[in-house]
Amino acid sequence: MFQSVGIKLWEAPYLTRERQIDAAEILQLAEQLGPELGIPTDQCMQGLAALQRNALEKLQSKEEFKNMGVATVKIRAPTQTGSNREFDLKVKITELGSHLCELISQRLSLDPRKLKLVSSGKIISGLRSLQEQNVTNGSTLMVLVMAHSEEEAKRECSTFDRVHKIRTDAKMLINENDSSNFMSIEDQSGNAIFLPKEEKQSLLMGLTLYEKGKAAMTVGNFEEALLLLLEADHDFRSCNSQLLDVVDNYALLNLDIVWCYLCLKNLHQLPDAEQRLKMCELKFQQSYGKNMQRVTEIRGQQSNEKIPLVRLHLLKAILYFYQNKRDDARTMFRVVETELLKLRIDDDCLSRLMECGYSMKECRIALRACTNDVEASIEFIHNRRQTRETNEKRSERERKLYKTINHDASSGDFQRIKLELVDQLMEMGYPEELAGLALKRSLNDINGALNELAVNSEGLRSELLRTVSVNEELQKKLEALGFDPQIALIALKLTANDYDRASNYLFTNVQNGIYSEALQRAIVELNSKQSTSGCNSAEEHTLPTSNNSGEKPSTSKRTARSSNSTDEAKKQKNIQKKEMLDILFKSFSQDIRKTDEDSHLDLQLDEEAKLLQQYKQLLDMD
């Protein structure tokens, strides 16, 4: 209103040359505007005085920032009790983030180590300057602090320590993942996803922190959840894979961050919320297709992917409300109301389906996908289970094959081996590991693979001596049959730990203690490979070259004992490390197991319905 009529309260005549407030001019303006606004003159004058003070404070802060680099930032400190504390602070933007934490902690009388600052959706680092982190004059920062009750204070005191420990534990597990195989990346249907090593680590860290954040949201701990989700967002942003453009994980992450903003009543993050919702909508379109076209083509007209869209539309409507776009808000709230009606689950159908022995989650997902048709829902559940089981078995088989033939999925020139081609070669009588090696060398050319198997089968078997890690239990079973330990080892390597094939191989190639030429070549080949790789294990020194003569191995007993002792120490160390990691993983994943890959499709939508009614009342839509 003031802009349209050219009223500037921070200039003359409402301010004297000495920069003092001209009360007479303010009174005259109040007498003029009061009747127009329908309010008493004294109240209008108080409002004008407040607006003038606010304008003068902004001008002063701009001058301080321009001349001295001192920024005035707005601080908002929400608590678990629901109250909000807001105040302004002045700080040089060249100062570190830790200095601003100190100033805020003094104002709030709290331990600075227990404060986290969030600006524009990013956590402020204490080790970098405010200027580097785009904190400028007028910026609004959200502060996550302790609540006042003793119980909540104890819980919040540990929040930030927990977040730090979660990242540290996740980093340890991910770094050891290639050898320990604690975590793997699969799509929603259970298909394995292979990525370059660095990108895989970033994506695993992002997904892991996201799962921990979702677990915190499930129990209503939105402060810890927000910290974990923002940490996950940082890792997702460092992942360069185009995979993020076609899967919905990053979209769901942004959606959950905005949901946490809403639950924490943090309206100052509206600009970041708006950007995240735009990002979310774009990613959903890339994943699901415009108007759900891609999902409809794959799964039919009804789909549970509509569930997160309800929350997206609800958050957009609430955003419009606080941006004072009331007409847009009403339109979007009507869209949400229609979507909620379509996704409503019939209680009788739910009871009937659960009586068949299915879980609550399975029943809700199926009934929404099949519009409350119980018979169709039963078929839906069975098909879904079967598809996932098939894909999981296929993924496990694929990972095992890659490990057997040393097909490095993290290398830059990695090409996925087509399992259907492996199956074709196996139908022709070739072992799976040899078929996989041949297709690896021929780059999935089945004719090239057949040629490789025909003319270079010995070379492929020789490759297995290098790549296959022997199962110790199977090796002991072969030793119990009377075979030399090292000969048993060779047999298991050549047959990729297939006990029946390994035993048949030994019975064929060991006759009356005499080794066949093929087995002797394998012994020489393995010795050669170990020697080339600089292996100093006892296995290298004691492998027999033939069992025809009575000669003993040339290595001394002392060397063998020393080597055996070293190997045993390494083995015990690895066992202890594995046990420690097992304990860490069980502890780390305990709350994650309460969530799963379908959690975003199984929202009960009760909270969404409550919020819809609340804002409809505010907009007089009833």
Q: What is the pLDDT of residues 20-63, one digit of tens each?
A: 666 777 777 777 777 777 777 777 777 777 777 777 777 777 77
Phi, psi (rounded to 5 degrees) for 332 = -70, -35
285, two tokens: 């379109």
pLDDT at 338: 92
Lowest mean pLDDT among 181-195, 201-215, 276-290: 181-195
Q: Judge whether residue 326 has pLDDT over 50.
A: yes
The model's pTM: 0.59
For 77, residues 6+ apart whose C-beta sits below 8 A from its C-beta are 84, 85, 86, 104, 108, 142, 143, 144, 145
3-class SS of residue 144? strand
For 107, residues 6+ apart whose C-beta sits below 8 A from its C-beta are 75, 87, 89
Whether 345 and 354 have beta carbons less than 8 Å apart is answered as no
Q: Judge whether residue 238 has pLDDT over 80.
A: no
- If you write DSSP's letter for every residue of 212-223 in order, what string do you get? HHHHHHHTT-HH
Lowest mean pLDDT among 64-68, 123-127, 332-336: 64-68
Which range in 154-163, 298-307, 498-507 is most confidently predicted, on average pLDDT?
Answer: 498-507
pLDDT at 195: 67
DSSP H helix total and E strand total for the chain: 28, 7
Return the half-sphere exposure (C-beta side, CA atoms, 13 A cut-off) of residue 505: 22
For residues 574-599, average pLDDT? 55
Q: How far apart are alpha carbons 28 and 41 in whole angstroms?
A: 9
Handedness of CA 288, 291, 293, 296 (dihedral sign): positive
Beta partners for residue 85, in sequence order: 77
Beta partners for residue 511, in sequence order: 514
Beta partners for residue 150, in sequence order: none
572, two tokens: 């015990």
548 against 459, higher pLDDT: 459
For residues 592-605, average pLDDT? 64
Q: What is the per-residue pLDDT across 203-214, written as a single tens digit (0 to 9) for each?
A: 778 888 888 888
3-class SS of residue 403? helix
Whether 345 and 368 have beta carbons less than 8 Å apart is answered as yes
pLDDT at 5: 53
- By DSSP bridging, strand 140-144 and strand 122-123 are unpaired
Whether 544 and 484 have beta carbons less than 8 Å apart is answered as yes
Q: How far apart are alpha carbons 78 and 141 in whole angstroms?
A: 11
Own/partner contacts of 325-329, CB < 8 Å, gap of 24 or more, are: 326/619, 329/615, 329/619
For 498, residues 6+ apart whose C-beta sits below 8 A from its C-beta are 431
Q: Judge whether residue 423 has pLDDT over 90.
A: yes
For residues 104-118, average pLDDT? 81
